[in-house]
Structure 1
Amino acid sequence: MKLVINSLSKTYANGVRALNNVSLTLNNGMFGLLGPNGAGKSSLMRTIATLQEADQGSIFLDDLDVLKNKTQVRQLLGYLPQEFGVYPKISAERMLDHIAQLKGIASTGERKDLVDYLLENVNLTKDRKKHLGTYSGGMKQRFGIAQALIGNPKLIIVDEPTAGLDPAERNRFYNLLSQLGENTIVILSTHIVEDVSTLCSNFAIICQGEVLYAGEPDTAVKEMEGKIFTKAISKQELPHYQDDFMVISTQLKSGKLHIRVFQETIPGDGFLPVSPNLEDVYFSNIAARIDVTTI
């Protein structure tokens, strides 16, 4: 399948321009949507998920007009929003069974097998009979992932899905999404660069409602080769270096501030070249829009 987003814009009633002429093309596989909080990621996800209207532009899932055929799109969609509510007095297995019925899975046996599979894959089997109201934040997130996968969706949208997950749970989630991405379009919206570098074959950086970069993570990193340099300075020297260089990130270690700068030529002045990573790609793209060097 293919999802084509063309010239999509959205301005809210308070005047905030959440999306500004967004255009992207997504094929089967994992697609990372990377950006800071408030970048417009959730607005784009909600629009694709048919939960809000766009002011202009179009979205097509193959030949299906997403903005005009909401019911049909929802039948093909699995969606895990950043924040979602649960029925507190019902167990996870009963709730998943109910959602499966709503998705058109009539066979009791088929639903049971599906619920067992999903609970196992999100590590909730031993907690299957507990009321959802007793779940921790991480457990609710895992339940949300399970419900998004019901009905064999062709398009899966997950908004900040690893928030609240410990490292072991995050790895389990990575493996689950990687399996799904082989035959499905999976959109992973996150501000965690590691999520994108670990999972996604393609990604885009969005900030202040605009797409700043779109491509393959490995290609993006290679384009930065020979352009990232680092130096240890005192915290008091940071404003001076910000005046002279494009400082894209800072990290405080043992009382010294280690800065990374993006520079087309060797800067000298004691800077050392370092191998770039996807964080450098991300920070170098958003640096002109927001302060990425706050310490």
Structure 2
Amino acid sequence: MADVMRSTGPDEDPQGGEEPRATPEERPARRWRSSGKQQKKGSFWRELPILIVTALALTVLIQAFLARVYVIPSQSMEQTLHGCTGCNNDRVLVDKVSYRFGDPEPGDVVVFRGPQAWVQNEFHVPEDTNPVVQFFQGAASLIGFGSPDEKDFVKRVIATEGQTVECCDPQNRVMVDGRPLNEPYIYWEPGRGNEQQEFQSVTVPPGHLWVMGDNRNDSSDSRFQGGGGVSGAVPVDNVIGKAQVIVLPPTRWQAIPEPNPQADALGAPAWQAGLPVGAGFAAAFPVVWAGRRLVRVVNLRSRERH
């Protein structure tokens, strides 16, 4: 009877709800496993600051040399890109690599530094004199969340060096080298009419681009900047990169359409239309790979914590 009614202790058999009593040989191993779990948890918290600093450093390097997020505060690219005062402006990912291997092509949406002749800014950013605020604004700009630069513009390439641009044919279409363009992205803002403003014929100088906004009657672009004409052309060297994807807000997350307006009008080779898609896939692969690696590391660290 004593064998049946004996009390149970913390080291009883699992069928009784407790762990079996450890033998003298097993006790050091159990203590090692327990201390190993504690070390893993401590190791994660020690490594977390290193992971954060590494991620921030990689973000700065990527935005300096590979791609950067830019804010679109102007309505000049409506409705391809959305931007207006007091609204949720689009943030676009600008590829800085593509133009190291070639020049911008007609139809590309590019971000560029305004030439010296471009004195008319499309928006104004109030400056804060507080040094603390300025520091945090500068830090935010490094990761793509700072205030936009008034001297940076985003427009669509209409013509490249040596091509002659003029407006317009009887159907109100811009012409390049005497042939009308096919521009499905043009937006006519209500209240501003649906006829393009006339401008004189211009031959784009060597090493320059002729750029225009998709919101055709509300864009300060090559037609007007610097007094128009040759002074309105943008040096290729001023181009920062090619706008590829809208990354914020989430409801606007999409690739940026960049049809070549000269493809039909000037008979551009069909293979050129596939270049943006190919470049997009090529740029997306390392981003997806890096994202998977990051998720794998986070999951691994999370398992180690538990």
Q: Same fold (TM over 0.5)?
A: no
Q: TM-score, normalised by structure 1?
A: 0.26
Q: TM-score, normalised by structure 2?
A: 0.25
